[in-house]
A and B are shown apart, each in its own frame.
Chain A
Amino acid sequence: MTRIGKFCLAGIMLFSAVPGLARQLPDGKQKQTVLKLCGTCHSPNLVLGRGMTRAQWGDTISSMVARGAKGTPEEFSDVLDYLATNFPPKSGTPTPAPAAAAGTARPKPKSIGQGADDQQVVDEALADQGKKIYIAECITCHGPKARGANEGPPNLRGPDIVRSVVVLHDRYGSTIGAFLSKGHPTQSGTSSASFSAEQILDLSHFLHQRVGDTLRSGPFNSVLNVLTGDPKAGEAYFNGEGKCTTCHSAKADLAGIATRYDAPALQQRFLFPATPVYGGRSVRSRKPVMLTVTPPNGPAVTGELDRLDDFDVSLHDSAGDYHVWKRTPELKVEKNDPYAAHNALLEQITDKDIHDVVAYLETLK
């Protein structure tokens, strides 16, 4: 059985240990690849119910690769295709937006399982209604994001209610309602004890939404702006100190690069090109690591790296044939990583250089 075959089997067996889980993933030609690459550590629960853009799924996969996920570039591209196709954003494209801006379509918060299983599921429509009540009755003392007010007249400096245990223990108004029913000052002067059950529920959804926005999986966690550099200085670095022209040309391979990637993706891609997925683009064109293996009594064999550790080395030659050797002191192994210069750059490049280069690359439309 091939190594890939073994992996697939392991993935299938892993998920089959809990009946039904694997079946919950939508069918698709890349499903087995998802099970194989992701199933070593994750259950399908992780993606079920999630929704992200292709770029965001790309970021997630890049992050997993940096944390040790194993697979070929083609396999990661398949995983990206599958996730982006089957788990698109639930409501619009997530963009950073002020939380208090009324009527903005909100991306669904993602979960890594934090908190109680029976925690409140925020109803966005009711949260929007709750926001109106909040703005009318609470915002002056508790602030636009319910994080409290540290300025203004002392009697109007209310505490942070995102951090309130009353709010965190609440389910659909259970503890918030009990608190407000005792009577709490409001902006309008209406006693909070007179709030209807519907108003309490709406406020509850709004406040739980505010809590969710602070999580690492919060819906507004995306890069704000990387275009802070000087394109002229970036061009100089590109052509000079950075030695980028050793392999690249603004008029050839990088022509129009800024039309293919947004600026945050350009930044991540030029720093970490060996991470297989960037900004939502498939990377079937990723250059392979090449090996030349010279046995003591035989001709040198050159091909694409399949596996290299302290004990074994294997590759696929240009005819597609697979070769494997046990490593010994007599076996010569030469490795040619096309991204070695990028990796070496990490120890030298300054943040100013990075942002200058991105500003320059952004001009290559």
Chain B
Amino acid sequence: MRIKFSQFICTAVLFVPALFGQEVTNQTLLHPPADSWPTYNGDYSGRRFSALRKINSANINSLSLAWAFRTGVSGGVFGASIKATPLLVNGVLYFTLPDYVWAVDARTGHELWHYHWDSKGGIHLGNRGVGIYGNWLYFETPDCNLVSLNTKSGKERWHKQICDLDQMYYASTAPVIVKNHLLTGVSGDDLDVPGYIEAHDLETGDLQWRWYAHPEPGQPEAASWPNTEAMLHGGGMTWGESTYDPELNLIYFGTGNPQPVIQGKGRLGDNLYTESIVALNPDNGKIAWYFQPSPHDTHDWDAIQTPVLIDGEIDGVKRKLLAQASRNGYFFVLDRTNGKDIVTKKFAAANWAKGLDAKGQPIPNPAKMPQEDGALVAPNQGGAANWPPPSFSPDTGLFYINATNAYSVYYIFDTDQKPEGWGGNDKGGYSELILKGIDYRTGAVKWAHKWEGQGGARSGVLSTAGNLVFAGDPSNNFVALNASTGEPLWHVNLGTAPSNGPITFELDGTQYLLVAAGDTLYSFAMLGK
């Protein structure tokens, strides 16, 4: 009897979450259990590191395919590549394509439901996933709507407009939940409109606050623009996902390019708060500090890459740090209490700056701004890094980034007295992809693994306590490398480039590894029997 009873208890413990789903609370988000991935980056730090070690550098070659889930969706101008990081709660995965949300059983790959939003337009370039709180999902649509769905049924609760499609905004980010705030960002650099980030009520979707990516007229930072009209039409989209330090009660995110994009002569100055890493109080949207990776950008190098929070040690002193491998080719480490620069160092080819200013920000070289006859610039518009998330392992102390050395020629097309919109672009190019492990204390590259082949898979990176780092290569391989040395250990060719940030979690004592490639989500595990 007792044996049977304990078997029952074991069984009940294992299957309770699957049968009686637990609501996601702030505690779930602050301390994610091993059987979950409840927010875009897995946790608020943005480091995409898992403490799981059942899959490790010693046994990785026993990994096998557990299941594959194909969306069956194509179409849209940009196709239907899964860029979303799936969220996992109660054994169910939730992920998106533009206008679509799926709920899929994480154990079997079986679809529970999917939801389709009837779109009225907008750029369908990608969607990076849902946010989850309680029994509710939240996601953004290309036509500027924030939609809330029931996790169990996929039925819509409400939707709210978060941007103006006619001003050619669109929405692509995964909403992030902090306390009782639902944080939403906006995209779109076609017209000269300002970027902003919003907080919404979790129950009603009502607006709590909006922070614009520009100073108010009259503030000292407004002097970084030639005039108020340029500033109020100056861009700075907020299409990255925020990280959060609960002790400091600050959210961190990056802003995108200034407008007009390539032709900067109508907006002389640093153009704050575009191309900036920004710290805000999530309760009121007030800015605490900013740091600008690309003052007066003219290369479309959105600084929206994940601001990864590292609790580290520099010169024997414990520090609250923030690290970003920025699209402009520079690796920055800041003190996240105040935004002061600690490290600024190139992590990829970058020929556009003539030095660093007193704040540690690169100083753009006017000769490497776009020219009528062309300027050869590194990195190219795609950047040394882009939206695919990097990873930081506290075990190795390394920040992992799939870095691109890339060159292109930047041209000015519009010589009007008042350029608008684009007014130029880059052309052609050469690029090579190198996975790098960077020492966060110095920016020094501890190891670099150059992938064969031109071009770059824009896959994200995951690191684990199994001394592993996972990333995509340009040959459609999904690869596991030794996190300490960069030696490739295992791979699978998915036929299409890995297209999202991989995740890992444990269910029923089995560690799973998930990655998307094109229209398919792949699950790997060590399946004992």
Contacts and interface: CB of A to CB of B under 8 A. Distances in A.
B166 A310 contact: no
Interface stretch (A143-151, A182-190, A231-239): A143-151
Given A267-B409, A309-B477, A310-B452, A113 B123 contact: yes
Interface string A82-116: 00000000000000100000000000000111111
Contact of A343 (B371, B416, B430): B430
Contacts of B409: 267-268, 271
Grouping DSSP codes into helix (H, G, I), strand (E, B) and loop, the A interface class, with mixed when no group exceeds half, is loop
B421 to A, nearest CB: 3
Contacts of A67: 382, 455
Interface residues of B, number: 85
15 contacts: A18-B75, A40-B81, A41-B81, A66-B430, A66-B455, A67-B455, A113-B76, A147-B418, A216-B190, A216-B422, A224-B372, A271-B430, A275-B428, A307-B475, A346-B407
Contact of B458 (A42, A68, A143): A68
B233 A68 contact: no
A308 interface: yes
A169 B191 CA distance: 13
Interface in A51-74: 59, 62-63, 65-70
Contact of A346 (B125, B378, B458, B475): B378
Interface string A1-29: 00000110010001101100100000000
Contacts of A284: none
B74 A66 contact: no
A162 B191 CA distance: 9
A310 B495 contact: no
A97 to B, nearest CB: 12
A117 B73 contact: no
A221 interface: yes
A80 interface: no
B422 A214 contact: yes
Interface of A: 6-7, 10, 14-15, 17-18, 21, 39-43, 45-46, 59, 62-63, 65-70, 96, 111-119, 143, 145, 147-148, 150, 160, 162-163, 165, 168-169, 211, 213-216, 218, 220-229, 267-268, 271-272, 274-275, 278, 307-311, 343, 346-347, 349, 351, 354-355
Contact of A40 (B424, B455, B477, B518): B518
Given A115-B166, A311-B477, A351-B371, 11 more contacts: A17-B519, A66-B428, A68-B458, A113-B78, A114-B168, A145-B418, A147-B420, A215-B191, A221-B413, A274-B454, A310-B451
- Pairs A-B, 8 closest by C-beta atoms: A214-B421, A66-B429, A68-B455, A309-B475, A117-B121, A216-B422, A116-B121, A214-B420
B261 interface: yes
A218 B425 CA distance: 11
B428 A96 contact: no
A114 B491 contact: no
